[in-house]
Amino acid sequence: MKSRLKSWSMVGSSIACTWLIVACGGGGGDLPSVPSDVSRLDCEVVDSATGKPVSDATVNYQAKTTSYTTTTKADGSCQIEIPAAEVAGVPFPAATVSKPGYEPQTILCESLRAGSGCDQEVTLIPLADNISIPVGGDTVMHLGDDQFEGSVNSQFQKATDGSELLFPIEDWADQVKRAGVTTATVYLDAKGWQSDVCSNLIEIVGDVGTASRPGGVSPSGGYWAGGRQVPFVFRISEIGLQQAQLRIVSGTCRGITDLDDFEINRIRVEFN
């Protein structure tokens, strides 16, 4: 979309930015010995329960034309070097850290620039029994039509993946048969989401029916926000007991054919 007007409900833009930087790990800054045509992303990944380094976690950065991926070493460290042209002009670029048995986490930097880098400490939370990660939910995805102006809050790090995306919830049947489970709550991080003026949808499609909710509204400064501050609650009875997938739709805006452009990451479904 061409402008971002409002912040998340209950989360002002400055608070949202601060919250994500804290949640995803510290400040970041210039690093020594970075080639002039490269931007470097460094991380140190630890387990939130033990404080110990997490090895063999996948670190993924979705750039303009290429996906850059590495794994953490025995000491929990990672490093990705990205051509500077791939990250130029992108405020708050985001990478993802994921490993089976943990919730995925967003690495958020203020920027990635030629000849410098961003160093983040990332805390991975062990995956609770009632939390599911939809297939593809641990990757930065861009929805929309790539028709947006170059304001600071509409600078996206990759080209669009389409106007509608599906994320299968593979353990849906096992989760909903647990005693007392009546709701599925979706949490995600988002950037550039403007559902106050665009007909964006977040839906769960099941064997009984489809439950729809309006999308969210992310901060006007182009920050990533969302997470547990912005729950999307669905009733199991609306969806069914056998199978389900999350569907996110980019809608038209202000009654014209322009679609909202936004990016999402770190999708989780909590069953209660």
pLDDT at position 153: 57
Question: What pLDDT, in 10s, does the model give residues 26-39?
Answer: 344 444 578 889 99
Domain boundaries, the chain: 13-124, 131-271
The neighbour count for residue 183, using CB atoms within 10 Å, is: 15
φ/ψ of 229, rounded to 5, equals -70, -20
How do residues 195-219 score in pLDDT, each as one tens digit?
A: 999 999 999 999 999 999 999 999 8
Q: Measured between alpha carbons, how far is 76 from 143 in angstroms, rounded to an integer? A: 32
Which residues in the chain belong to E strands, given as ranges? 38-47, 58-62, 67-71, 77-83, 94-98, 105-108, 116-124, 131-132, 141-143, 164-168, 183-191, 201-206, 210-214, 225-226, 232-235, 244-249, 262-271
Angle (nearest 5°) at CA 252 between 240 and 192? 85
Least confident piece of the model among 24-28, 185-189, 221-225, 232-236: 24-28
CA-based max dimension of the chain: 57
Mean pLDDT of 234-261: 95
- The 10 Å Cβ neighbour count of residue 34 is 18
Question: How large a percentage of the chain has pLDDT more than 90?
Answer: 74
pTM of the model: 0.87
The Cα–Cα gap between 257 and 201 comes to 16
DSSP 27: -
By DSSP bridging, strand 262-271 and strand 183-191 are: antiparallel
Confidence label for 255 from pLDDT (cuts 50, 70 and 90): confident
pLDDT digits (tens, 9 = 90+) for 47-69: 999 999 999 999 999 999 899 99
Q: Name the fold adopted by 13-124.
A: Protocatechuate 3,4-Dioxygenase, subunit A (2.60.130)
Eight-state DSSP code of residue 54? -
Contacts of 82 (CB under 8 A, 6+ apart): 38, 39, 40, 41, 61, 63, 68, 112
Among 39-53, 110-124, 169-183, 226-240, the least confident range: 110-124
How confident is residue 21, by pLDDT bands cut at 50, 70 and 90? very low
Please report the DSSP string for 210-243 in residue order: EEEEE--B--TTS--EEGGGS-EEEEHHHH-SS-
pLDDT tens profile 135-145: 999 999 999 99
Could you give the percent of the chain with pLDDT greater than 70? Answer: 86
Range name among 73-82, 152-161, 255-264 with the lowest pLDDT average: 152-161
State the pLDDT confidence band at 18, using cuts at 50, 70 and 90.
Answer: very low
The third-level CATH classification (topology) of the domain covering 131-271 is Jelly Rolls (2.60.120)
